[in-house]
Structures are given as C-alpha cells and as structure tokens.
Amino acid sequence: MDKLLITGGTRLNGVVRASGAKNAALPILAATLLTKELITIKNLPHLHDITTMLELLGSMGCGVVVDEKMSVQLDVSTLNNCEAPYELVKTMRASILVLGPLVSHFGKAIVSLPGGCAIGSRPVDLHLRGLEAMGATISVEGGDIVASVDGRLKGARIFFDKVTVTGTENLLMAATLADGQTILENAAREPEVVDLAECLIAMGAKITGHGTDTIVIEGVEALHGTSYPVMPDRIETGTFLVAAAITGGKVRVIDTNVKSLEAVLSKLEEAGAKVSSGEDWIEVDMEGRRPDAVNISTAPYPAFPTDMQAQFVALNSVANGVGRVIENIFENRFMHVDEMLRMGADIEVTGNTAIVRGCERLKGAPVMATDLRASASLVLSALVAEGDTKIDRIYHIDRGYECIEEKFGALGAKISRVLN
C-alpha cells in the first residue's frame, strides 16, 4: 500500500493552484440527475471520491464522458435504475446526495444507508425527515433507504434542527422539481451550498436566499442542461496556507476564492502571518517566524470550519504558547492527536477540547492517517518535523487532496510516494 515519505525542515515557498472543491463537485454531480438534457461540469478535482460519484451515476445507466481536463459530460436520459448500492456508499458517505434528486425526478430511490464513520456517528435523519415532509414515503429495508412518491414532491416549509451541509443540499435539489414553494430554514450557508444553488439556477431552478439560513425554492416542472465550473477548494487552499505558516515560509494560492476563507485567514493573521489577497489569490508570508498559538472553535459557516481543525492543531503544536481547540461539529474528530503525540506533540484532549502546548520541534515518526482532514494535519506536522515521517493509509489523503506530493513538492517540500 502506498505511503507518503516526508523529510521535514524545508521552508515552503512558491505558487500553487487551488483545485476544484470536492464538497461542491459531489452535490453538483448529483444534481445532474435532475435533468434529462446533456450537462457539462468543469473544474472537477481528480480525486477518488469524484471517481466514485461518476461510477455511481454510471451504474445507474447515465452516460459519463470525462476529458483530460476533468470536464465531464453527463447524459441522464439513459438512466435505467435508481439505486446506490452498499459497495459504493460504504466508500463514500456523500453518495446520499443522489437521494433527493432521484426521488424528485424519478419518483423513487434505493440508497444504501451510510453507516458510522471514523469521525463519529453521522446520521441522515434530517435528510429523510425533510423528504417525508415533501410527501415522500420512506422506509429502511435490509440496510437500504427506500424512498418513493406518487407524482411530484410537494413544496414544504422545513426547519433543520441542526445545520447540515449535505442535508441542506439534498433537500435543495429535491425542492427544485417539487410542486410549489419550499422554504428551508436554519439551512447551511457553506459556500459549497451556494455553488450548488448557482449550478441549479443555471439549470433553470428558481432559488433565492442561498448563502443565508433561509433558502426559498419555487419548484419548476423541468430543469435543462448547462455548463458549470465547480468553485475552488477552500479547504485545500487553507491547508496550503497553513503549510506556509507552519514552515515559516511564503505561499501564494492562485485560482482560489478569498471570501470563503475569512475565518481561516483571520486565524492565520492572529498566528502572526502576513496575509495578502487579490481577486482570486491569497498569499501567506510568515517571514521565517514561528507561529503564535491560536484558539479555535469550529461551527457552521461563516465560523471556523471543522475541516480545518486538524490543520490548526498541527500549527499550534509547534507554535509559541498554548492553543485551545474546540470541536463542535463531529464527536470523534481528534484522531490525528494520537498520531501527532508519536511525533512529540504536547496535546491533551478532554471531551471535545484539545489543549495544544507548542513545542520547539516535532520529530519524524511512522504514523497512520485515520481520516481525510486528520491526514492533512500529519502532512503539515511532517513538514516541520526533524527527520523522516512515513504516513501510512494515505488513501484517506487521496480522497481530498489532488496530486498532493506534486503540489507540495513544487513548493519545495521533500515529499514522495513510496511503496513501503
């Protein structure tokens, strides 16, 4: 199995391009199920999760043509079944995103129920309750969610007890073809939800309020084809910027989205980084300094994202001072901590809080990636550790970071993919 070998100690310097956002690409690909016309999605990141979603659409009979620039043309007119089988869902929870579009467009769906995952139990009750409120009949049979509706879904007023990103996306997609008006309250405001809404609007959907906590959708009878580019990945961008800060270096990320990163940029400034930006680029210059520790508390957008929490634990682990990191979204998202302790970090976890005492230097060690964002923090830690770090189970990294060794390598990191 592939591993990443990283020799720490190099200050990162240079320019890197942001890839398309995985978490916007996945719902947008699912949204193509809402039209029978040809549709083209551009700027897809070359990632395992994207391949899984394309495989899922292909397994339903959709035509999928990918070009070398990761533009994909989809043809849903040939769809011959509405099933998302366990084999695919178990490798990617986001497969649940096909549920809303399938029920709304085809009146039925069988989607394997996603199980628990490494970062805790992740229920989909709010997705299901919302679809029921819109008139779908839902049952769980043999581990599958079986959903159906006679005729069209009906517009409804839906209040989310908890802010859920994919839950909002599933119901937003379902509502576009429903009969009448749907109002989603306490909806997720994440930029990826906004990107999905913009794609749906380009397909002819009537949506207002996306980017706020109340989204209003006037259902239409049909959506049409379009060509839509996926937004840049704010989490990948943020990870490169933390890499600059943690190594005392200077990195400019181009083709990115500045506004979507405000909470992260303000924490980087607090850590002592010089942050500058233009319309589609952000630069972090640490001018050779050691970062200062920062306190972090994760919450739904526009607050600090849970997907950047592990990277800031890494930053704090070599910072001046003590940083308190509170994880409010997922119950078991400190698994990177045990691995970082193996590298000499001083971190104490109690409940959902990690107290990170900055140390002068981490030491390279063999470590294991446990989930996508945890693995990013191990890469960052390895970049500043003395000696070699070998990261095992890097398939987690490959789910979310495109060409990670090429991109970090171009910034001067000593990083390679090895077999043993």
Q: How far is the CB of 96 from ligand UD1 (least distance, A)?
A: 8
Catalytic residue among 62, 82, 117, 359: 117
Give the C-alpha separation, 285 to 305, whole Å: 22
Could you list the residues that contact ligand UD1 (CB under 6 A)? Answer: 23, 26, 94, 122-127, 162, 164-167, 192, 306-307, 329-330
Smallest distance, Å, CB 299 to ligand UD1?
9
Cβ 49 to ligand UD1 shortest distance, Å: 8
CB nearer to ligand UD1: pick between 210 and 252: 210
Which residue pairs from 202-205 have beta carbons closer than 8 angstroms and sit at least 24 positions apart in sequence?
202/226, 202/228, 203/31, 203/34, 203/35, 203/39, 203/176, 205/176
Binding-site positions read 22-23, 93, 122-126, 307, 329
Nearest distance from C-beta of residue 25 to ligand UD1, angstroms: 9
H, E, C per residue of the chain? CCEEEEECCCCCEEEEECCECHHHHHHHHHHHHHCCCCEEEECCCCCHHHHHHHHHHHHCCCEEEECCCCCEEEEHHHCCCCEECHHHHCCCHHHHHHHHHHHHHHCEEEEECCCCECCECCCCHHHHHHHHHCCCEEEEECCEEEEECCCCCECCEEECCCCCHHHHHHHHHHHHCCECEEEEECCCCCHHHHHHHHHHHHCCCEEECECECEEEEECCCCCCCCEEECCECHHHHHHHHHHHHHHCCEEEEECCCCHHHHHHHHHHHHCCCEEEECCCEEEEECCCCCCECCCEEECCCCCECHHHHHHHHHHHHCCECEEEEECCCCCCCCHHHHHHHHCCCEEEEECCEEEEECCCCCECCEEECCCHHHHHHHHHHHHHCECEEEEECCHHHHCCCCCHHHHHHHCCCEEEEECC
Least Å distance, CB 271 to ligand UD1, is: 22
CB of 282 closer than 8 Å to CB of 266:
no
CA pair distance 284, 207, nearest whole angstrom? 36
Q: How far is the CB of 164 from ligand UD1 (least distance, A)?
A: 3
Residues forming the annotated binding site for phosphoenolpyruvate?
A: 22-23
Nearer to ligand UD1, 307 or 405 (CB): 307
Tell me whether residue 117 is one of the annotated catalytic residues. yes
Binding residues for UDP-N-acetyl-alpha-D-glucosamine: 93, 122-126, 307, 329
Q: Are 16 and 410 in contact (CB under 8 A)?
A: yes
- Which residue number, 55 or 218, has a Cβ lying nearer to ligand UD1? 55
Nearer to ligand UD1, 11 or 122 (CB): 122
Q: Which is nearer to ligand UD1, 307 or 398 (CB)?
A: 307
We find the least distance from the C-beta atom of residue 123 to ligand UD1, in angstroms, to be: 4
**Residue with Cβ nearer ligand UD1 (87 or 125):** 125
CA distance 249 to 196: 34
Of 329 and 415, nearer to ligand UD1 (C-beta) is: 329
Q: Which residues are annotated as catalytic?
A: 117
